Amino acid sequence: MQQAQHKFSIKTSGRGFTEFTGIVRGFLTRHPCQTGLMTIFCRHTSASLLIQENADPSVRRDLETYFERIAPESPIYEHATEGPDDMPAHIRTALTQTHLSIPVMDGELALGTWQGIYLFEHRRAPHTRELILHLIGE
């Protein structure tokens, strides 16, 4: 059984999706594993992780529109320390996830044909987000 970890940063351009499937695949190439589990963790409370379709960008646009409707910027929130998009970002993160677990099968991530790994930035301004990869397997 082996384990490996890697911490890295992703720069976002503001609200929306940033795909980083290639970074995770590259890490797996550097730490070969036939069978195991890849865990990805986002160290933030206003950004999240999703596995989502990577072929049709309208899927991601529709998701952004949906989250704007269910967690809009509004003066109804008490928490606005970092601006009007702060509390909606926390709600969006609470409704998604800050970690993913992806099986490794035959040395590859067990993603479906149209699946990609995304950081979902919930703030309007660009941010640098820290993520951690953890691989365990053999």
Q: In sequence order, what are the residues at sequence separation of 6 or more whose Cβ sits closer than 8 angstroms to the Cβ of residue 48? A: 42, 92, 93, 96, 97, 98, 119, 120, 122
For domain 2-137, give the CATH number.
2.60.120.460
Going by C-alpha positions, the residue among 29, 38, 54 that lies closest to residue 102 is 38
Beta bridge partners, 35, equal 105
34 contacts 137 by C-beta, under 8 angstroms? yes
> Quick one: what percent of the chain has pLDDT higher than 70?
100
Dihedral, CA of residue 28, residue 29, residue 32 and residue 35, to nearest 10: 50
Q: What is the pLDDT of residues 69-95, one digit of tens each?
A: 999 999 999 999 999 999 999 999 999
Q: What is the pLDDT of residues 34-74, one digit of tens each?
A: 999 999 999 999 999 999 999 999 999 999 999 999 999 99
